[in-house]
């Protein structure tokens, strides 16, 4: 049930963006036991004036191909699952669409199950 927000520089092809969606979905399925069909993701594209990042923060050499990935999920995963998710995301995005691991920035936000509504005005997990 993750909700995934991806921010990136504008100008990539539809196939590139689709590969990001596919890779993130596969990574969550592989490491977070996300059920089939549980895909809620958006990509926001930004021009250069509206996309800023630390090009060498923590001695990581980032480029304009940086993707900022924010994942909101329930707080039910172990530290090992989280580490596995971060590794798997970088691995799969490296394979397709070819994003360098240095350009994969992930932020995981966790919350309680009663904080989610998947539609119809209901708290399905409360």
Hunting for tokens 């895909």 — which residue is that?
39
Active-site residue identified among 2, 35, 97, 101:
2
* CB atoms inside a 10 Å sphere around CB 15: 9
- Which residues does 65 contact at the CB level (< 8 Å), separation at least 6? 8, 9, 99, 100, 103
Active site residue 101: no
- Are the CB atoms for 74 and 1 separated by under 8 Å? yes
Rounded CA gap, 6 and 105, in Å?
10
d(CA 19, CA 24): 8
Half-sphere exposure of 115 (CA within 13 A, CB side): 10
Q: Which residues are catalytic?
A: 2
């Amino acid at each position: 049930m993750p909700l995934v927000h991806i921010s990136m520089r504008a100008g990539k092809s539809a196939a590139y963006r689709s590969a990001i969606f596919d890779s993130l979905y596969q990574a969550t399925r592989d490491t977070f036991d996300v059920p089939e069909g549980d895909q809620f993701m958006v990509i926001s594209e930004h021009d250069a004036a509206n996309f800023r990042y630390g090009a060498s923060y923590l001695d990581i050499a980032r480029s304009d191909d940086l993707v900022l990935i924010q994942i909101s999920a329930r707080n039910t995963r172990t530290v090992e699952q989280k580490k596995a998710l971060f590794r798997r995301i970088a691995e799969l995005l490296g394979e397709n669409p070819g994003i360098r691991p240095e350009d994969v920035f992930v932020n995981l936000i966790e919350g309680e199950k009663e904080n989610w509504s998947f539609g119809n005005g209901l708290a399905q997990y409360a």
